[in-house]
Amino acid sequence: MRCHECGGTYRTRKGTLRLPDDVVKLLVVPDVEYLECDECGAQLYPWDTAKKIGDTRDRKISERLGSGWIRVKASIENRVDRKKMARTNLLVGTASQRTWLPEALLEKIGVGREKKDIRFKMANGKIVTRSIGFAIVHVDKYLTIDEVVFAEKGDLVLLGARTLEGLNVTVNPTRKKLVAAGPIPAA
């Protein structure tokens, strides 16, 4: 296979990957198979390796953030064409108002960018701009429609406070899971 960067040849490699990462700094993924260009060093990852990289990154982020964080499996659905859906794992981030989802996932299911250049202040104080779209979020038996942020590479992927409120769930820190919040207050 020819390299998309320089035209060199990709060769199969096995070993430990050491990848720079914006959040965990250095991501070490042992015992994986990948393709590497023999001229420029560009790498391609088969599905199993890409999944192991993602799982390792998620685990390292959870360790770094502490044991108070929980992870949930979610399905994200296009609000217009409800047959377009993708599944993902999310950290529950009650300090974040919005839910942050990978832009590639949102684009894959056809979620449009409705609001552009919205400013956000990150936990480290850095100001970034991102786009927002509208999607249906499913977690277990709960669902809601909400504004979702198009997360870029290096951004944490989070289930935010507004979505939790829409799902009518709360975090049970002892059981490390989401539970029903009870009746919704009315006027």
pLDDT in tens, 37-59: 999 999 999 989 988 888 888 77
CB atoms within 10 A of CB 17: 19
pTM of this structure: 0.67
Q: Which domains does the chain show, CATH number per domain?
A: 10-65 (3.10.20), 71-180 (2.40.70.10)
What pLDDT score was predicted for residue 65? 60
Q: Which residues contact 155 (CB under 8 A, 6 or more apart)?
A: 100, 128, 130, 149
Place of tokens 């720079």: 20
User: What is the total residue count of the chain?
Assistant: 187
Give one DSSP letter per residue of 59-91, joined into a string. HHHHHHH-TT--EEEEEEEESSSTT-EEEEEEE
Q: Which residues contact 17 (CB under 8 A, 6 or more apart)?
A: 27, 28, 29, 32, 34, 43, 49, 53
- The predicted-structure confidence for 164-178, as pLDDT tens digits, reads as follows 999 999 888 777 789
What pLDDT score was predicted for residue 30? 94
What pLDDT score was predicted for residue 20? 85
181 secondary structure, DSSP code: -
The tokens describing 175, both together, are: 């059981």
